[in-house]
Structure 1
Amino acid sequence: MKRFFKATLKIVKWAVIGLLCVEALSFAVITTTNWIIYGNLREGPKAVYDPYALFLMENGVWPTAYSKYVDNHPELSKVIWFFGGSTMRASAAPYAMSIPSLVARNLNETEKPYAFNCFNFGVNSFNSLLESKYLEKQFIEFPIRPDLVVFYDGANDANYFAVQKTPYAHEGRERVQGVIESYYKSGYGILKPLNAAYFASFTRELLQKLLYTAKPVDPNSPELAAFVELTVKRYDFINRLCAAEGAKFLLALQPLYWVESCSGVDAAVAAQEKDTILGRKTFPHVRENFMTVYAALERGLAGKPYFVNLREALCGRNAPAYTADGVHNTDAGREGIAAAMLPAIRARLSLPKTANDGGPQ
């Protein structure tokens, strides 16, 4: 019996050591990947808890350059709220090169006597689900009311669905859900710190990401159909909410390297991006998964009066538009996106079209 307990203790000890080693290895892989892609050991800047949207960026609403007011003439002042993820916030670039800043610069140069004040409510890792709650927060709390609300989505919605396979996918979903539900859901839930550590595990995160890159999304799956249905319902609600608050709504489906199907990119630029963007051969299903989810979203949103499809908006570029992950943009990429977005913004605000406009209406 003594030998049995000794052997059991030894097995348990080595099992724990093995799990710790696997967790340490997973931590090393994830943090190294973050450093290669984002130049930071963590994925995104520090976030803080928010009762509406779960979390927001610690440094608050990102500044916007080139915004203006018209003193004593409110009828000439137009306010635009921009929502999206890290591609909208662009906190790794000078704030004057964010999409809202570039839109404000163009409109204030070309649309006199009107003045445009743009607010960048982009938050790293946000998708349409968290943005919709953040929009509600701003309608309740933010003092400057919008004439137009712009959502810039696609990448995070597609990515989180492909990883989590649920229409309610968002950043940190399982960690939050695990802490709330599993206290009663599982036997070891009573050990709340241990249970929280399981859902926050680097090993679990790494396995999910590996499965995502190795397994294609089924275009005919009921989960994808439910995701599209609920996402479209979410945008329909946002459209009604904006109208009730006296604002117009615009949803732009963002361009990604992984979903482009165009052939008009300059050959030298295409070659440079081919060398820069990681995972093109190592993770072949990344492009396929993005394409599958984007195609489903396009079908679901087709014909919606608030929808503009910018998927191919950067096809005519003559400078690299994407960074190493194929999602985030260079300064040239954001310039192209802002230019492609302007016609739809002008149309929603009933402004005359200019010769500088480019992209779909």
Structure 2
Amino acid sequence: MIKKNLFKVILINLLIFFIIISSIIIFPPFILDGYKSLKNNILSNVSKTVDTRAKLINYKNYDWAEKHFDELNKLSTKYYDYIGWRRNEFKGQTININEMGYRKNSKKNNTINPVKNEAWFFGGSAIWGTGSPDDKTIPAIFEEFSDLTSTNFGESGYTTQQNLNLLIKNYIIGGKPKVVFFYDGVNDISYKCRKELDFFSSGRERYIRDQLEKSNLSKLVGPTKDLFKILLNKFNLKNNNFYDCDTNPKKSNLIVENFIMNWEIAKNIVESNGGIFYPILQPMGYIGEPNVSHLKLNSNSGTGSQINQFLFMYDKIQNKLREKNLNYIDLTKIFNNNEYYYIDFVHVSPDGNKKIAKSIFEKIKIEN
């Protein structure tokens, strides 16, 4: 009888142990996969307003906005050494990406080798064209103004270091552009100023490192951690002050030095190959006096906040550019009026892209 009761207790304890282990390790992957499936498939079919930017006043005269943001959410990326990532080939109504990961300007130049074009544009998602169809990105509109065939080398999250590496790659494979534009500022600050990253980091350095360093145990509990992060984000329980450029002078100085050195190296490469280099300090919603009354931008401007990083670092970059006497196109205040251009703190709608492309074209037309 005693043995039977002992066996029963052991079985019950083993069952409890299995339930606990399952709740920590086995169940979270299924819950996480179910959540992702629900988010990507079912919810996207139930509602077409997942991305609220499509409903902004900026798009009141555009019937393609919802389709654009729907396609944007379907894009995937592939890893590449030295440049980090590129989006995979995609064919849509508002977004088309070729097999090399470069966004097309329009259907009329789909067959042109992008490396052979006369004007090259490098930058992050603002140059890539988040919020605009293929023919209304900055490179596409510039092509119409200038009659220079243009290539959009932009990619979401790219810093000046990634732009420089991609520039070198495309010269090596035979490119000979007449003009090259680097459109930078936001990503070098928004990523490198994060506490866990340094002056030479890309936006995904920490993620890639974590994946490579995962032990067998961490791989098992990984889905549990991911699920916990989702819950933190949903209930806004995380600390939003995870930047340190405004309190770490050594790091902020290195970021500025790296930023400007990348521009200088790119300039030397372009000019040594017979081209003209134009670095551009990009606009963003926290700089100058743009109309952002239609947006719900983060208003926290204290120490360690995202806003404070941009205000602090843009000032340092501009001071250093003046000190080095490096010519650049300053577009930081291009939207200082009452028009609705921004769709978030950095991306603009097609009217904004047109204003930027026109300003760039007029600048180089005067100089040439």
* Aligned partners of 1:53 and 1:134 also within 8 Å: yes
- 1:280 equivalent in structure 2: 298
- 1:321 equivalent in structure 2: 341
- 1:159 equivalent in structure 2: 190
Counterparts of 1:63-142 in structure 2 under 5 Å? Answer: 63-64=104-105, 79-90=118-129, 92-108=131-147, 116-141=148-173
* Aligned partners of 1:79 and 1:147 also within 8 Å: yes
- 1:294 equivalent in structure 2: 314
> SS of 2:284's equivalent?
coil
* Aligned partners of 1:179 and 1:196 also within 8 Å: no
Change (3 A) 1:343 1:322: same
* Aligned partners of 2:29 and 2:224 also within 8 Å: no
- 2:63 equivalent in structure 1: none
- Taking the aligned partners of 2:175 and 2:105, their CA distance within structure 1 comes to 14
Which runs of 5 or more structure 2 residues have no equivalent in the other structure?
Answer: 1-8, 44-48, 55-68, 89-96, 110-115
Structure showing greater Rg: 2
- Counterpart of 1:122, as a letter, is G
- Taking the aligned partners of 2:203 and 2:74, their CA distance within structure 1 comes to 12
- Taking the aligned partners of 1:44 and 1:251, their CA distance within structure 2 comes to 31
- Taking the aligned partners of 2:191 and 2:273, their CA distance within structure 1 comes to 30
- Following superposition, the deviation at residue 233 of structure 1 comes to 2.2
> SS of 2:151's equivalent?
strand
* Aligned partners of 1:27 and 1:203 also within 8 Å: no
Mapped pair 1:336 → 2:355: yes
- What TM-score, normalized to structure 1? 0.70
- 1:213 equivalent in structure 2: 240
- Taking the aligned partners of 1:34 and 1:56, their CA distance within structure 2 comes to 24
CA-based RMSD of the aligned residues comes to 4.1
- 1:357 equivalent in structure 2: none
Change (3 A) 1:245 1:251: same
**Among candidates 145, 149, 155, match of residue 180 of structure 2:** 149
- Following superposition, the deviation at residue 166 of structure 1 comes to 1.3
> SS of 1:48's equivalent?
strand
Change (3 A) 1:144 1:238: closer
Mapped pair 1:62 → 2:90: no
Identity %: 17
- Taking the aligned partners of 2:31 and 2:313, their CA distance within structure 1 comes to 32
- 2:210 equivalent in structure 1: 178
Cα deviation digits, residues 193-248 of structure 1 (max 9, x gap): 5587699x465588799767335534241222222222222222222222222222
Which runs of 5 or more structure 1 residues have no equivalent in the other structure?
Answer: 69-76, 109-115, 184-188, 352-361
> SS of 2:182's equivalent?
strand
Change (3 A) 1:193 1:15: closer
Change (3 A) 1:241 1:151: same
- What TM-score, normalized to structure 2? 0.69
Count how many residue pairs are aligned between Structure 1 and Structure 2. Answer: 314
Mapped pair 1:259 → 2:279: no
